[in-house]
Amino acid sequence: MDNDTELRLGLPGSVEVKKPRETPQKRSSPDCISVEDDNLDRPSPKAQIVGWPPVRSYMKNNFYSMKNKADMAGKYVKVSMDGAPYLRKVDLKNYKEYKELREALENLFGCFSLGEILRMDGKYTMEYTIAYEDKDGDLMLLGDVPWEIFLSSCKKLRIMTDALGNKDREDSK
């Protein structure tokens, strides 16, 4: 097991599965298939063995389609608003850009503006700033980094409100 310098077929890092004997007569679907993986920066997945782990093929097939859906299923992050009694959650994957996210947040939290109604027409508005907590736990202002980078680093959203008062606001975005 520690013969790392031993010459053998297979990718570095792949587990060599010991079989009781060689099978020269085997032709179709070998028992042990090396997983193709040319990204040597991360450890390659272990070699696949036919029928292992013992999970029903029905479930395996479902699992693959589920996993793909899960990858697409979205990135839900908590959204808190200062003064609101409870938090909400949004799926960041529903939005392609910051503008869409801001609009969605306005819709979500429109009812919480301390008696004032937050409208898109700019009539009664609150000053608010949207910030987010990143992977390092730091509170960052929304909008500085490209959307994709924001997507991968955002852990939580926070809507911070300023003092009360009606202010006309340009629809600047």
Partner 1 sequence: MKVQSAMFYFPEEVIEHIFSFLTHHPDRNTVSTVCKAWYKIERLSRCEVFVGNCYAIRPDRAAARFPGLRSLTLKGKPHFADFDLVPPDWGGLAGPWIEAMARSCPNLEELRMKRMVVSDESLELLVHAFPNFKALVLVSCEGFSTDGLAAVARSCKSLRELDLQENEIEDRGPRWLNSFPDMCTSLVSLNFACLKGEVNLKSLERLVCRSPNLKCLRLNRAVPVETLAKIMNQCPNLEDLGTGSLLADQFSEAYVSLISALQKCKKLRSLSGFWDASPLCLLAVYPICANLTGLNLSYAPTVQGQDFINLIQHCVKLLRLWVLDSVGDKGLAVVASACKELQELRVFPSDLFAAGPATVTEEGLVAISTGCPKLNSLLYFCHSMTNSALITVSKNCPNFTRFRLCILEPRKPDPATNEPLDEGFGAVVKTCKNLRRFSISGLLTDQVFYYIGKYAKALEMLSIAFAGDTDQGMTYVLNGCKNLRKLEIRDCPFGDGALLADVTKYETMRSLWMSSCDISLRGCKALATKMPSLNVEIINEWEAEMEENLNNGVAEVISNNNNKHINNGNDERKVEKLYVYRTVGGPRTDAPDFVWTL
Smallest gap from Cβ 17 to partner 1, in A, equals 7
Site membership for partner 1, residue 46 (CB under 8 A): yes
* Residue closer to partner 1, measured from CB, 93 or 123: 93
- Element at 88 (helix H, strand E): strand 88-91
Q: Is 125:97 a contact under the CB 8 Å cutoff?
A: no
* Residue choice 6, 8, 20, 38 for contact with partner 1 (CB under 8 A): 20
- Phi, psi of 33, deg, nearest 5: -110, 125
Nearest-approach distance from CB 25 to partner 1, in angstroms: 5
Binding to partner 1 (CB under 8 A) within 76-135 occurs at 76, 89
Q: How many residues bind partner 1 (CB under 8 A)?
A: 38
The end-to-end CA distance of the chain, in Å, is 61
Cβ-count burial 42-64 (b if 16+ within 10 Å, e if not): eebeebeeeeeeeeeeeeeeeee
C-beta of 20 vs 137, nearer to partner 1: 20
Q: Per rule CB under 8 A, is residue 33 in the interface with partner 1?
A: no
Q: Binding pattern to partner 1, positions 52-71, x when CB under 8 A?
A: xxxxxxxxx-xx--xx-xx-
- 28 lines the binding site for partner 1 (CB under 8 A): yes
- Side-chain half-sphere of 104: how many Cα atoms within 13 Å? 16
Minimum distance, C-beta of residue 82 to partner 1, in the bound complex (Å):
21
**Binder to partner 1 among 2, 4, 6, 26 (CB under 8 A)?**
26
Helices and strands per DSSP (H, E), number in the chain: 3, 7
3-state secondary structure 63-86: HHHHHHHHHHHCCEEEEEECCCCC
- Where along the sequence are the contacts to partner 1 (CB under 8 A)? 15, 17-21, 23, 25-28, 31, 35, 43, 45-46, 48-60, 62-63, 66-67, 69-70, 73, 76, 89
